């Protein structure tokens, strides 16, 4: 407990490093990429000015992500650290599940996972889980038994949220539990949108347990959007494939800002690092938009509410 108080206390002084709404508005309105980088020069996101290729911009943000992951490793309790990098673990597990034995490798695996892609692949192929974190072993065993089976990606989505819940439950924080319920709601909204686009009938087994919106509500679109409008008033409905990301981030940022009202505690720590992840994704998208000269009006539709009091 003393360690958490110390970390949350230091985080209070670091929160001033988040971009403000005014700063974000100014970088969106810049006319040239060089102006964009000038405004970010004294922030965490000091993007190099003379980039020749988009790949260089991607590499820059990969380095920032690596730095953030290392900061989390040093600052967070192990279970929370593993939660924050769990997405990378499951991204790699998904690739293992989708690729047949002997298929040519592609370099789209995540490098910030707790265990590298090739170790995961070898573990599944040999059914030898030495060196794999305990919280991933059940999932890898499932992949070993079901690799190539229909619906395996849906099963992985459910296993991801079950694993996330297991990693976070030891903190006994209603705030964190409620946060995970928001993530589950938007995972289910994503499934709903995908099924609608594909003309498929929604089935209860497609949905993840534990959200704020009951699974039964996903069978009536009008009722679903009314409930989401009530539960997440800052989110515009209906949610579509085009505005899904901004809707999800808006709901997340609107919620985690409330974690700052706790003077010292795990809620402050959790909110700070989740805010860092979301802000980095936001700036990455804006940077790529500016690099490709996307109109500021369009960029303003991409931006999410900042992690700050208003």
- The pLDDT > 70 percentage for the chain reads 90
Q: Residue 106 pLDDT more than 70?
A: no
Q: What is the pLDDT of residue 101?
A: 52
- Tell me the average pLDDT across 59-63: 95
Q: What is the pLDDT of residue 11?
A: 67
Q: Which ranges constitute the DSSP H helices of 131-173?
A: 134-146, 152-168
**Residue 103's pLDDT band (boundaries 50, 70, 90)?**
low
Q: Residue 266 pLDDT more than 50?
A: yes
Q: Which positions ≥6 away from 130 have C-beta within 8 Å?
A: 123
Closest to 307 (Cα-Cα) out of 229, 253, 226? 253
What residue segments make up the domains of the chain, in order of their start?
Answer: 2-302
Q: How far apart are CA 204 and CA 219, in angstroms?
A: 9
pTM of the model: 0.90
**Residue 131's pLDDT band (boundaries 50, 70, 90)?**
confident
Which whole-number Å values give the CA distances from 253 to 89, 260, 277, in the listed order? 23, 12, 11
Residue 244 corresponds to which tokens in the numbers above?
A: 């899904």
185 Ramachandran zone, left/alpha/beta (phi>0; psi -120 to 50):
alpha
Q: Residue 128 pLDDT more than 60?
A: yes
**278 vs 98, higher pLDDT:** 278
- What does pLDDT average to over the chain? 89
Q: How far apart are CA 175 and CA 291, in angstroms?
A: 38
Q: How far apart are CA 204 and CA 37, in angstroms?
A: 47
């Amino acid at each position: 407990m003393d360690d958490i108080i110390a970390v949350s206390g230091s985080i209070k002084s670091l929160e001033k490093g988040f971009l403000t709404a005014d700063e974000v508005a100014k970088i969106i309105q810049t006319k040239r990429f060089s102006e964009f980088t000038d405004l970010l020069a004294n922030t965490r996101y000091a993007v190099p000015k003379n980039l020749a290729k988009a790949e260089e911009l991607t590499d820059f943000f990969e380095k920032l992500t690596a730095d953030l992951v290392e900061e989390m490793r040093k600052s967070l309790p192990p279970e929370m650290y593993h939660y924050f990098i769990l997405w990378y673990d499951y991204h790699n597990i998904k690739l293992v599940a989708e690729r047949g034995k002997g298929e040519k490798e592609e370099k789209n695996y995540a490098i910030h996972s707790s265990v590298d892609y090739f170790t995961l692949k070898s573990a599944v192929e040999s059914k030898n889980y030495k060196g794999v974190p305990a919280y991933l072993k059940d999932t890898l065993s499932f992949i070993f038994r079901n690799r190539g089976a229909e619906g395996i990606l849906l099963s992985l989505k459910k296993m991801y949220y079950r694993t996330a819940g297991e990693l976070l439950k030891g903190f006994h924080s209603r705030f964190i539990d409620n946060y995970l319920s928001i993530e589950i709601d938007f995972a289910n909204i994503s499934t709903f949108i995908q099924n609608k686009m594909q003309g498929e009938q929604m089935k209860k087994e497609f949905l993840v347990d534990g959200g704020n919106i009951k699974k039964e509500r996903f069978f009536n679109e009008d009722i679903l959007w009314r409930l989401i409008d009530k539960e997440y008033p800052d989110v515009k409905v209906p949610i579509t494939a085009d505005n899904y990301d901004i809707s999800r981030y808006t709901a997340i940022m609107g919620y985690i800002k409330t974690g700052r009202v706790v003077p010292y505690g795990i809620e402050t720590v959790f909110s700070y690092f989740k805010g860092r992840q979301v802000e980095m994704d936001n700036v990455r998208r804006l940077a790529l938009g500016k690099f490709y000269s996307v109109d500021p009006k369009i960029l303003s539709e991409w931006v999410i509410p900042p992690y700050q009091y208003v």
